[in-house]
Structure 1
Amino acid sequence: MAKNRFEQVNEIQPDAITLVLKRDIDGATGSVVMPAASSGGRLSNDQVSAPLPAQDAFRGAIRLANDVKLAIVVCDPDGVWKPEWGDLYQPLD
Structure 2
Amino acid sequence: MRHTRFTDCDLSHAALGGCKLAKTVFERCLLVRAELFQTSFSGMDLSDCDISGVAISGGELRNARVNLEQAAQLGVLLAGVVLAEAALPRETH
TM-score (norm 1): 0.25
Greater strand share, structure number: 1
Q: Which has the higher contact order (CA 8 A, sep 6+)?
A: 1
